Amino acid sequence: DSGVTQTPKHLITATGQRVTLRCSPRSGDLSVYWYQQSLDQGLQFLIQYYNGEERAKGNILERFSAQQFPDLHSELNLSSLELGDSALYFCASSRDRAYGYTFGSGTRLTVV
């Protein structure tokens, strides 16, 4: 157990639908990061939150959004899903990025 909890582990949904992925960071970590991992693109940074505030944005589509709540857990919302959104979605947390991230086990999203 890395200390970062992601739910659900697997999600199968239809095109056009909306899903919410949840992440609880490691205790004491204020930063949460979301990544998308696909076979051809590798790990792609989506967005970072620090203590409830958006800190950095990467290759996140407009159909995707995220937030971090006062208890520091975070949610990634994916809407109008397309087949190409099928991927592994990872959440990571850190105290300081220079010392590494702790990743959760990921949510495998399959859009059919």
Binding footprint of another protein on the chain (CB under 8 A)? 2, 4, 33, 35, 41-43, 45, 48, 55-58, 90, 92, 97-106
Shortest Cβ 80–another protein spacing (Å): 25
Shortest Cβ 111–another protein spacing (Å): 19
Q: Which is nearer to another protein, 16 or 58 (CB)?
A: 58
Cα R_g (the chain), whole angstroms:
13
Residue type for position 29: D
Q: Which is nearer to another protein, 79 or 105 (CB)?
A: 105
Q: In 5-112, which ranges are E strands?
A: 5-7, 10-13, 19-24, 31-38, 42-50, 53-57, 64-68, 74-78, 87-94, 102-103, 107-111
Tell me the CA distances in angstroms from 58 to 13, 28, 65, one per residue in order.
Answer: 25, 24, 12
Q: Which is nearer to another protein, 50 or 67 (CB)?
A: 50
Shortest Cβ 47–another protein spacing (Å): 10
